[in-house]
Amino acid sequence: MEFTLELKNRINYIEKKMKAFLPEEVGYQKTIFEAMNYSLNAGGKRLRPILIMEGYRACGGLGEDFLPYSVAVEMIHTYSLIHDDLPALDNDDLRRGKPTNHRVFGEDMAILAGDALLNHAFETMLAYAKDSDRPDLHIRAMYEIARGAGIYGMIGGQVVDVQSEGQAIKKDKLDFIHINKTAKMIIASVRCGAILAKASDEKLQALTRYAENIGLAFQIVDDILDIEGDEKTLGKKVGSDIDNMKSTYPSLLGMKESKQIATDLIVKAKKSIGIFDSSDVEFLISLSEFILNRSN
């Protein structure tokens, strides 16, 4: 597999399909549509929507039942980035090499754009689920995303992250932040796709373990890149963790041990999906290696 090409094809597929779900920029409230679309169209790895698609396909799913959920999860991820960049949180000026939403539209409209994307994500999922022939599966899939994004997932992790700034915290608290703030939405994504494909409990649990491991590894690599990364490649300022006095894996354990832990997590991730036919999870295996070695 030529992974770089396969990843690009998947990103292009998601972005092309996503356009049908974006609001048209007309009407008295057109500014909010412009702000939503500005951040949604800013690029990125589209990791979470691709994981929904791959979880679905790995478990034998056919067709595009996963698509509204892939689009919705990217809306949720984008809203979280808009709010994360605000002066009250990380106060960032750049995101993916472009001015952050509040720098273009103002703080008021950025807050509303994040709110709008979160709400529109659930509108998108519910519009599809209510007319499906298996609403039970769609409700389960939506629950995974809702919980992964909520107070027992991303928001919960963000709360502890904000409250821990300027403090020396222990590794178990840092793991709580990383697992909830980052990994829970990755877990929710792959589980959502698997559930829509009517996965067996064994396959669902295997994919869950895979996602737990790559999710934590993803955030550890983020910690490393905030120190060693290239600002132009990352498309955002490096050193923000230090500026915001945040505890990270490198600050607690050192760079060498942090890299080893990330490597070990990727090994575990690949082993966890050994129950699948290799052809069904070839992309997921390559994706885990990409996460470890990424530069942005």
**Span 82-132, pLDDT tens digits:** 999 999 998 999 998 899 999 999 999 999 999 999 999 999 999 999 988
pLDDT at 124: 96
Cβ-based neighbours of 14, under 8 Å, separated by 6 or more: 46, 49, 50, 53, 70, 71, 74
CA triplet 27, 31, 37: central angle to 5 degrees?
A: 105
pLDDT tens per residue across span 40-55: 999 889 999 999 999 9
pLDDT at 202: 97
Cβ-based neighbours of 130, under 8 Å, separated by 6 or more: none
Q: How far is CA 293 from the centre of its chain?
A: 17
| Structural tokens at position 191 | 């589980």
Give the chain's mean pLDDT.
93
pLDDT at 165: 87
Structural domains present in the chain = 3-293 (1.10.600.10)
Cβ atoms within 10 Å of 7's Cβ, excluding its own: 19
Query: By C-alpha distance, which of 54, 34, 45 is closest to 11?
Result: 45
* Measured CA distances, 125 to 106, 132, 230, 236 (Å): 29, 11, 37, 31
Length of the chain: 296
pLDDT at 237: 57
What would you measure as the largest C-alpha separation in the chain, in angstroms? 54
CA triplet 262, 267, 268: central angle to 5 degrees?
A: 95
| Helix spans in 150-200 (H) | 154-163, 171-178, 184-196
Phi-psi region of 235 (alpha: psi -120 to 50; beta: other; left: phi over 0): left
Mean pLDDT, consecutive 10-residue segments, the chain of 296 residues?
92 96 96 98 94 98 96 98 94 91 97 98 95 92 97 97 90 95 97 97 98 96 84 57 74 93 97 95 96 86
Query: By C-alpha distance, which of 265, 278, 78, 290 is closest to 178?
Result: 265
Rounded to 5 degrees, φ, ψ at 133 are -90, -5
pTM for the whole structure: 0.93
d(CA 86, CA 110): 8
